[in-house]
A = this chain, B = another copy of it.
Amino acid sequence: MIGAVDDTHRRLLELGLELPPPASPFGAYVEAVQSGNLLFLSGTLPAVAREPKYVGRIGAELSAEEGRAATRLAALNGLAIAKEHLGSLDRIVRVVRLGVMLVTTAEFAEQPKTADAASELLRDVFGVDRIPVRLVYGVASLPLGMPVELDMIFEVA
């Protein structure tokens, strides 16, 4: 049987979500490190196969809805990395911490709503009892001009 589908993956499919191919690091770092029961990920970005899919500032080159789509994609990329590292997302006990770094115009006031795109995805996939703490802030710039980077920490069994 190829690609045995675990419970969490089944949940993704029910939600109509598909995990992108996991990113490969393109520097002297790795995409995931587990220490004890904590799994730390590299910053995940709205890219597909290393190509940025969203570039620009939310509120200028990108609309609020594109900002949410970019944030969702970054979260899916994080899950893809976690699945590759763990074998199955069912090994995730809970999502511990989600950091959301956004590049927006100075006027853009909906950072929390943008961040919700990742938070809601994680809630839908893992359930309301396993949602993380969250930090949201606007940064000056992100790699390759992308509008969002996520900082994800999981507890794994």
Contacts and interface: CB of A to CB of B under 8 A. Distances in A.
Interface of A: 25-33, 35-38, 40-43, 94, 96-98, 101, 103-104, 106, 108-109, 111-112, 115-116, 119-120, 122-123, 128, 131-145, 149, 151, 153, 155
Contacts of A115: 27
Given A37-B36, A143-B111, A144-B109, A31 B137 contact: no
B149 A135 contact: yes
Given A33-B94, A33-B96, A35-B155, A40 B133 contact: yes
Contacts of A35: 37-38, 94, 96, 155
How many identical chains are in the complex? 3
Given A33-B96, A40-B132, 16 more contacts: A27-B115, A27-B134, A28-B122, A29-B119, A29-B133, A33-B94, A33-B97, A35-B37, A35-B94, A42-B133, A104-B140, A112-B143, A135-B149, A137-B141, A137-B149, A140-B140
Nearest to A138: B141
